[in-house]
Amino acid sequence: MKKRVFSGIQPTGNIHIGNYLSAIKHWVASQPEYDNIFCIVDLHAITVPQDPKVLKAKSLELAALLFAAGIDPQQSVLFVQSHISAHSELAWILNCFIPMGWMQRMTQFKEKAGTQREQVSVGLFDYPALMAADILLYNTDEVPVGEDQKQHVELARDVAQRFNSLYGETFVVPRAVIPPSGARIMGLDDPTSKMSKSETNAGHAINLLDSPDEIRSKVMRATTDSLREIRFDENRPGVNNLLTIYEHFSGLSQSEIEAKFDGKGYADLKRELAEVIVEGLRPLQSRYRELTADPTHLNSLLSEGVSKIRPIAEKTLRLVQDRVGLG
Protein backbone atom coordinates (compact mmCIF):
# COMPACT_ATOMS: atom_id res chain seq x y z
CA MET A 1 0.00 0.00 0.00
CA LYS A 2 1.35 3.39 -1.03
CA LYS A 3 1.19 6.23 1.46
CA ARG A 4 -1.56 8.77 0.84
CA VAL A 5 -0.20 12.29 0.37
CA PHE A 6 -2.39 15.39 0.17
CA SER A 7 -1.13 18.79 -1.02
CA GLY A 8 -2.95 22.03 -1.65
CA ILE A 9 -2.08 25.08 -3.67
CA GLN A 10 -3.98 28.35 -3.97
CA PRO A 11 -5.15 29.45 -7.44
CA THR A 12 -4.12 33.04 -6.85
CA GLY A 13 -1.25 35.04 -8.32
CA ASN A 14 1.13 33.66 -10.89
CA ILE A 15 3.01 30.43 -10.36
CA HIS A 16 6.71 31.18 -10.41
CA ILE A 17 9.91 29.20 -10.70
CA GLY A 18 10.27 29.15 -6.89
CA ASN A 19 6.97 27.25 -6.60
CA TYR A 20 8.05 25.02 -9.47
CA LEU A 21 11.56 24.12 -8.29
CA SER A 22 10.71 23.58 -4.64
CA ALA A 23 7.21 22.15 -4.71
CA ILE A 24 5.78 21.16 -8.10
CA LYS A 25 8.91 19.37 -9.34
CA HIS A 26 8.94 17.23 -6.20
CA TRP A 27 5.26 16.46 -6.53
CA VAL A 28 5.87 15.24 -10.06
CA ALA A 29 8.90 13.17 -9.07
CA SER A 30 7.07 11.53 -6.15
CA GLN A 31 4.18 10.17 -8.20
CA PRO A 32 5.34 6.57 -8.67
CA GLU A 33 6.08 6.24 -4.98
CA TYR A 34 3.03 7.85 -3.33
CA ASP A 35 -0.72 7.90 -3.70
CA ASN A 36 -0.97 11.64 -4.30
CA ILE A 37 -3.97 13.95 -4.21
CA PHE A 38 -3.34 17.51 -5.39
CA CYS A 39 -5.97 20.09 -4.62
CA ILE A 40 -6.50 23.54 -6.09
CA VAL A 41 -7.88 25.30 -3.04
CA ASP A 42 -10.35 27.83 -4.41
CA LEU A 43 -12.41 27.81 -1.18
CA HIS A 44 -9.29 28.97 0.65
CA ALA A 45 -8.72 31.65 -1.97
CA ILE A 46 -12.05 33.36 -1.17
CA THR A 47 -10.98 33.98 2.43
CA VAL A 48 -9.74 37.26 0.94
CA PRO A 49 -11.58 39.24 -1.77
CA GLN A 50 -11.35 37.74 -5.29
CA ASP A 51 -12.72 38.72 -8.67
CA PRO A 52 -15.10 35.82 -9.57
CA LYS A 53 -14.07 35.61 -13.25
CA VAL A 54 -10.40 35.80 -12.43
CA LEU A 55 -10.67 33.15 -9.72
CA LYS A 56 -12.39 30.68 -12.03
CA ALA A 57 -9.89 31.31 -14.82
CA LYS A 58 -6.96 30.99 -12.41
CA SER A 59 -8.20 27.65 -11.08
CA LEU A 60 -8.29 26.22 -14.59
CA GLU A 61 -4.96 27.82 -15.50
CA LEU A 62 -3.34 26.26 -12.45
CA ALA A 63 -4.82 22.86 -13.29
CA ALA A 64 -3.42 23.09 -16.82
CA LEU A 65 -0.04 24.20 -15.50
CA LEU A 66 0.19 21.33 -13.05
CA PHE A 67 -0.77 18.76 -15.70
CA ALA A 68 1.72 20.44 -18.04
CA ALA A 69 4.42 20.25 -15.37
CA GLY A 70 3.96 16.49 -15.25
CA ILE A 71 1.15 15.67 -12.83
CA ASP A 72 -0.06 12.47 -14.42
CA PRO A 73 -3.80 11.81 -14.15
CA GLN A 74 -3.13 8.07 -14.43
CA GLN A 75 -1.03 8.11 -11.27
CA SER A 76 -2.34 11.02 -9.21
CA VAL A 77 -5.52 12.95 -8.69
CA LEU A 78 -5.65 16.68 -9.35
CA PHE A 79 -8.93 18.41 -8.56
CA VAL A 80 -10.58 21.69 -7.60
CA GLN A 81 -11.61 21.86 -3.94
CA SER A 82 -15.06 23.39 -4.49
CA HIS A 83 -16.01 20.50 -6.81
CA ILE A 84 -16.34 18.24 -3.78
CA SER A 85 -18.84 19.72 -1.32
CA ALA A 86 -17.68 17.43 1.49
CA HIS A 87 -14.79 19.87 2.12
CA SER A 88 -17.15 22.60 3.24
CA GLU A 89 -19.39 20.19 5.11
CA LEU A 90 -16.60 18.58 7.10
CA ALA A 91 -15.03 21.98 7.80
CA TRP A 92 -18.27 23.05 9.53
CA ILE A 93 -18.35 19.96 11.71
CA LEU A 94 -14.66 20.27 12.61
CA ASN A 95 -15.31 23.90 13.57
CA CYS A 96 -17.48 22.61 16.35
CA PHE A 97 -14.59 20.56 17.74
CA ILE A 98 -11.85 23.16 17.53
CA PRO A 99 -11.51 25.32 20.63
CA MET A 100 -11.18 29.07 19.99
CA GLY A 101 -7.88 29.02 21.84
CA TRP A 102 -6.28 26.71 19.23
CA MET A 103 -7.33 29.00 16.40
CA GLN A 104 -6.20 32.12 18.21
CA ARG A 105 -2.68 30.72 18.34
CA MET A 106 -2.37 30.48 14.53
CA THR A 107 0.50 32.75 13.51
CA GLN A 108 -0.44 32.97 9.83
CA PHE A 109 -3.77 34.59 10.72
CA LYS A 110 -2.03 37.10 12.96
CA GLU A 111 0.38 37.97 10.15
CA LYS A 112 -2.24 38.14 7.42
CA ALA A 113 -4.81 40.05 9.46
CA GLY A 114 -2.23 42.42 10.93
CA THR A 115 -3.91 45.58 12.08
CA GLN A 116 -7.09 44.75 10.10
CA ARG A 117 -8.36 42.13 12.57
CA GLU A 118 -11.82 43.62 12.83
CA GLN A 119 -12.18 43.89 9.04
CA VAL A 120 -10.87 40.58 7.65
CA SER A 121 -13.33 37.73 7.07
CA VAL A 122 -14.23 35.02 9.55
CA GLY A 123 -13.14 32.68 6.74
CA LEU A 124 -9.58 33.93 7.00
CA PHE A 125 -9.62 33.17 10.72
CA ASP A 126 -11.18 29.77 10.06
CA TYR A 127 -8.80 28.86 7.20
CA PRO A 128 -7.13 26.06 9.24
CA ALA A 129 -10.45 24.24 9.83
CA LEU A 130 -11.03 23.98 6.09
CA MET A 131 -7.44 22.86 5.60
CA ALA A 132 -7.96 20.19 8.29
CA ALA A 133 -11.08 19.03 6.42
CA ASP A 134 -9.09 18.79 3.15
CA ILE A 135 -6.52 16.60 4.78
CA LEU A 136 -8.77 14.42 6.97
CA LEU A 137 -11.35 13.57 4.29
CA TYR A 138 -8.88 11.37 2.41
CA ASN A 139 -7.22 9.36 5.20
CA THR A 140 -4.04 11.28 4.49
CA ASP A 141 -0.78 9.98 5.93
CA GLU A 142 1.54 12.80 4.89
CA VAL A 143 1.17 16.46 4.04
CA PRO A 144 4.16 18.07 2.33
CA VAL A 145 4.18 21.75 3.26
CA GLY A 146 6.51 24.65 3.76
CA GLU A 147 7.48 25.65 7.30
CA ASP A 148 4.74 28.33 7.28
CA GLN A 149 1.98 25.69 6.99
CA LYS A 150 3.28 23.32 9.65
CA GLN A 151 1.17 24.83 12.42
CA HIS A 152 -1.97 24.30 10.33
CA VAL A 153 -1.15 20.62 9.82
CA GLU A 154 -0.55 20.31 13.58
CA LEU A 155 -4.06 21.67 14.13
CA ALA A 156 -5.43 19.05 11.74
CA ARG A 157 -3.63 16.38 13.79
CA ASP A 158 -4.96 17.79 17.04
CA VAL A 159 -8.56 17.89 15.89
CA ALA A 160 -8.29 14.37 14.43
CA GLN A 161 -6.98 13.07 17.75
CA ARG A 162 -9.62 14.92 19.74
CA PHE A 163 -12.41 13.58 17.55
CA ASN A 164 -11.01 10.05 17.68
CA SER A 165 -10.80 10.14 21.44
CA LEU A 166 -14.38 11.40 21.76
CA TYR A 167 -16.00 9.08 19.20
CA GLY A 168 -13.57 6.23 18.53
CA GLU A 169 -11.20 5.78 15.56
CA THR A 170 -12.54 7.93 12.75
CA PHE A 171 -9.65 9.85 11.21
CA VAL A 172 -6.16 8.86 10.15
CA VAL A 173 -3.85 11.22 12.05
CA PRO A 174 -1.74 12.98 9.40
CA ARG A 175 1.76 14.33 9.71
CA ALA A 176 3.47 17.29 8.10
CA VAL A 177 6.51 16.57 5.98
CA ILE A 178 8.80 19.51 5.39
CA PRO A 179 10.77 18.84 2.20
CA PRO A 180 14.53 19.33 2.57
CA SER A 181 15.04 23.05 2.07
CA GLY A 182 16.68 22.73 -1.31
CA ALA A 183 15.62 25.62 -3.44
CA ARG A 184 14.69 28.83 -1.76
CA ILE A 185 14.46 31.15 -4.71
CA MET A 186 14.63 34.84 -3.96
CA GLY A 187 13.07 37.82 -5.77
CA LEU A 188 15.05 39.04 -8.78
CA ASP A 189 14.41 42.65 -7.86
CA ASP A 190 15.21 42.08 -4.18
CA PRO A 191 17.29 38.97 -3.49
CA THR A 192 16.81 39.33 0.26
CA SER A 193 13.09 38.48 0.11
CA LYS A 194 11.70 35.20 -1.20
CA MET A 195 10.15 35.06 -4.63
CA SER A 196 6.43 35.31 -3.91
CA LYS A 197 3.18 34.90 -5.84
CA SER A 198 1.61 37.87 -4.13
CA GLU A 199 4.43 40.31 -4.95
CA THR A 200 3.28 42.35 -7.95
CA ASN A 201 6.46 44.24 -8.87
CA ALA A 202 7.09 43.41 -12.58
CA GLY A 203 10.73 42.39 -12.23
CA HIS A 204 10.20 40.31 -9.08
CA ALA A 205 9.40 36.77 -10.22
CA ILE A 206 9.80 34.57 -13.26
CA ASN A 207 6.42 33.05 -13.84
CA LEU A 208 6.03 29.68 -15.49
CA LEU A 209 4.04 31.23 -18.32
CA ASP A 210 6.39 34.16 -19.02
CA SER A 211 7.40 34.49 -22.67
CA PRO A 212 11.10 34.04 -23.61
CA ASP A 213 11.45 37.81 -24.00
CA GLU A 214 9.89 38.51 -20.62
CA ILE A 215 12.25 35.99 -19.05
CA ARG A 216 15.29 37.56 -20.74
CA SER A 217 14.30 41.04 -19.74
CA LYS A 218 13.61 40.10 -16.10
CA VAL A 219 16.90 38.21 -15.78
CA MET A 220 18.94 40.99 -17.41
CA ARG A 221 17.46 43.51 -14.94
CA ALA A 222 18.02 41.30 -11.86
CA THR A 223 19.77 42.95 -8.92
CA THR A 224 23.40 41.87 -8.44
CA ASP A 225 26.28 43.66 -6.72
CA SER A 226 29.32 45.70 -7.65
CA LEU A 227 31.79 42.82 -7.33
CA ARG A 228 33.00 40.77 -10.29
CA GLU A 229 33.64 37.19 -9.29
CA ILE A 230 30.92 34.64 -10.11
CA ARG A 231 30.76 32.35 -7.10
CA PHE A 232 28.13 30.68 -4.88
CA ASP A 233 28.27 32.90 -1.80
CA GLU A 234 25.33 33.45 0.54
CA ASN A 235 26.72 36.83 1.50
CA ARG A 236 26.14 38.00 -2.06
CA PRO A 237 22.42 37.26 -2.34
CA GLY A 238 21.85 38.57 -5.88
CA VAL A 239 24.53 36.53 -7.65
CA ASN A 240 23.92 33.58 -5.35
CA ASN A 241 20.25 33.54 -6.32
CA LEU A 242 21.02 33.66 -10.06
CA LEU A 243 23.53 30.83 -9.66
CA THR A 244 21.06 28.78 -7.61
CA ILE A 245 18.45 29.13 -10.33
CA TYR A 246 21.09 28.22 -12.93
CA GLU A 247 22.04 25.15 -10.89
CA HIS A 248 18.45 23.91 -10.84
CA PHE A 249 17.73 24.46 -14.48
CA SER A 250 21.08 23.26 -15.86
CA GLY A 251 21.53 20.24 -13.61
CA LEU A 252 25.26 21.10 -13.34
CA SER A 253 27.09 21.01 -10.01
CA GLN A 254 28.13 24.19 -8.22
CA SER A 255 31.81 23.66 -9.04
CA GLU A 256 31.03 22.98 -12.71
CA ILE A 257 29.06 26.21 -12.81
CA GLU A 258 31.80 28.24 -11.13
CA ALA A 259 34.34 26.81 -13.59
CA LYS A 260 32.08 27.61 -16.53
CA PHE A 261 31.76 31.27 -15.54
CA ASP A 262 35.35 31.71 -14.39
CA GLY A 263 36.61 35.02 -15.79
CA LYS A 264 33.22 35.95 -17.26
CA GLY A 265 31.00 38.88 -16.29
CA TYR A 266 27.50 39.20 -14.88
CA ALA A 267 26.08 39.94 -18.33
CA ASP A 268 27.36 36.55 -19.58
CA LEU A 269 25.87 34.80 -16.55
CA LYS A 270 22.53 36.53 -17.06
CA ARG A 271 22.43 35.74 -20.79
CA GLU A 272 23.16 32.05 -20.20
CA LEU A 273 20.76 31.90 -17.28
CA ALA A 274 17.91 33.38 -19.31
CA GLU A 275 18.49 30.75 -22.01
CA VAL A 276 18.49 27.76 -19.62
CA ILE A 277 15.25 29.01 -18.08
CA VAL A 278 13.65 29.61 -21.49
CA GLU A 279 14.67 26.11 -22.63
CA GLY A 280 13.74 24.56 -19.27
CA LEU A 281 10.22 25.98 -19.41
CA ARG A 282 9.66 25.39 -23.13
CA PRO A 283 8.22 21.83 -22.92
CA LEU A 284 5.96 22.81 -20.01
CA GLN A 285 4.69 25.87 -21.85
CA SER A 286 3.99 23.95 -25.02
CA ARG A 287 2.05 21.23 -23.11
CA TYR A 288 0.19 24.04 -21.35
CA ARG A 289 -0.86 25.52 -24.68
CA GLU A 290 -2.07 22.14 -25.92
CA LEU A 291 -4.11 21.57 -22.76
CA THR A 292 -5.72 24.99 -22.72
CA ALA A 293 -6.55 24.76 -26.43
CA ASP A 294 -8.98 22.00 -25.50
CA PRO A 295 -10.95 23.07 -22.39
CA THR A 296 -13.32 20.11 -22.70
CA HIS A 297 -10.44 17.68 -22.35
CA LEU A 298 -8.98 19.67 -19.45
CA ASN A 299 -12.32 19.69 -17.64
CA SER A 300 -12.73 15.99 -18.24
CA LEU A 301 -9.31 15.28 -16.70
CA LEU A 302 -10.43 17.20 -13.63
CA SER A 303 -13.79 15.48 -13.40
CA GLU A 304 -12.21 12.03 -13.79
CA GLY A 305 -10.07 12.92 -10.77
CA VAL A 306 -13.14 13.97 -8.83
CA SER A 307 -14.96 10.73 -9.58
CA LYS A 308 -12.01 8.75 -8.27
CA ILE A 309 -11.87 10.49 -4.91
CA ARG A 310 -15.38 11.76 -4.18
CA PRO A 311 -16.38 8.34 -2.79
CA ILE A 312 -13.48 8.49 -0.31
CA ALA A 313 -14.52 11.97 0.86
CA GLU A 314 -18.17 11.04 1.13
CA LYS A 315 -17.43 7.88 3.07
CA THR A 316 -15.43 9.86 5.63
CA LEU A 317 -18.10 12.53 5.85
CA ARG A 318 -20.88 9.95 6.37
CA LEU A 319 -18.91 8.25 9.12
CA VAL A 320 -18.34 11.60 10.86
CA GLN A 321 -22.00 12.60 10.52
CA ASP A 322 -23.03 9.28 11.94
CA ARG A 323 -20.66 9.58 14.89
CA VAL A 324 -21.92 13.06 15.72
CA GLY A 325 -25.58 12.15 15.29
CA LEU A 326 -26.31 13.98 12.04
CA GLY A 327 -28.17 12.85 8.96
Which residues are part of the catalytic machinery? 112, 194, 197
Residue 305's CB: how many other CB atoms inside 10 A? 23
Nearer to ligand ATP, 15 or 291 (CB): 15
> Is 145 an interacting residue with respect to ligand LTN (CB under 6 A)?
yes
> Is 135 an interacting residue with respect to ligand LTN (CB under 6 A)?
yes
Indicate which of ligand LTN, ligand ATP, none lies near residue 135 (CB less than 5 to 8 Å, by partner kind): ligand LTN
> Is 19 an interacting residue with respect to ligand LTN (CB under 6 A)?
no
Q: Contact at 8 Å (CB) between 103 and 128? A: yes
The alpha carbon torsion through 219, 243, 264, 188 (nearest 10 deg) reads 30
Cα separation, 15 vs 302, whole angstroms:
19
With CB under 6 A as the contact rule, the residue among 18, 128, 174, 237 that binds ligand ATP is 18
241: left (phi over 0), alpha (psi -120 to 50) or beta: alpha
130 SS3 class: helix
Indicate which of ligand LTN, ligand ATP, none lies near residue 273 (CB less than 5 to 8 Å, by partner kind): none
Q: Which residue is nearest to ligand LTN (CB)?
A: 8
Burial class (CB in 10 A: 0-12, 13-18, 19+), 293: exposed
Least distance in Å: CB of 205 to ligand ATP? 8
| Footprint on residues 60-99 left by ligand ATP (CB under 6 A) | none
Least distance in Å: CB of 49 to ligand ATP? 15
First to last CA, the chain: 32
Residues lying near ligand LTN in the complex (CB under 6 A): 6-8, 10, 41, 44, 131, 134-135, 143, 145, 149
